Structure 1
Amino acid sequence: MRSALIPIALLLLAGHASGISYITFDKAIGFKGAGGGGFGGKISLAFDSEGNIYVSDEENRLVQKLDRDGNPLLTIPPDPSSPENPFNKPGDICVDGEGNIYV
């Protein structure tokens, strides 16, 4: 399997030029794969107030929480192949101010 970096919307507002805002690419994190910072096909993103990244991964049937540098912090469910996995194809994701995750 060939690894590929997946850009994860880590963009930095760089400044203003003549009243026009622009953004620049900061970095890419992740790879094509499963778990541990790997992503399948379609993904959705959310961010919490601490800058952590939440990735809903449709193909791998899981949600990952990554720190701002892309290091894995949490995988939900811990074993996506388990019959008790609540996700079939998780879609959109958001995180509220109390840290609750909605998928």
Structure 2
Amino acid sequence: MTNKKYHTTLLFYLAAFFLPVLIMIGVLYSQKIYPGSERTIFTSDGFHQYVIFATGLRNILHGDGSLFYTFTSGLGLNFYALTSYYLGSFLSPLYYFFTVNQMA
């Protein structure tokens, strides 16, 4: 009996994960958003914030500026804090290998 309950619970957990994923894939595909397409879910905030900050980090990694403070925004801002919020991924150092044109 315990084994059957375990399998039923596991089935519900798997359905709870895969059903939303399949729905999301279906919606994105219906909107012509898929890997390699011209469209992306990387929209407004993604383009106007993350790309700019990622480009700034890329330039800093190439020696243009300071990791702790930047004057690119008004009177300047704490780039270290900005990095922890927007660029906190362990993959962020990979921006080093992209050109500015590839990131825009």
Which has a greater percent of helix? 2
With normalisation by structure 1, the TM-score equals 0.20
Rg larger in structure: 2
Which has a greater percent of strand? 1
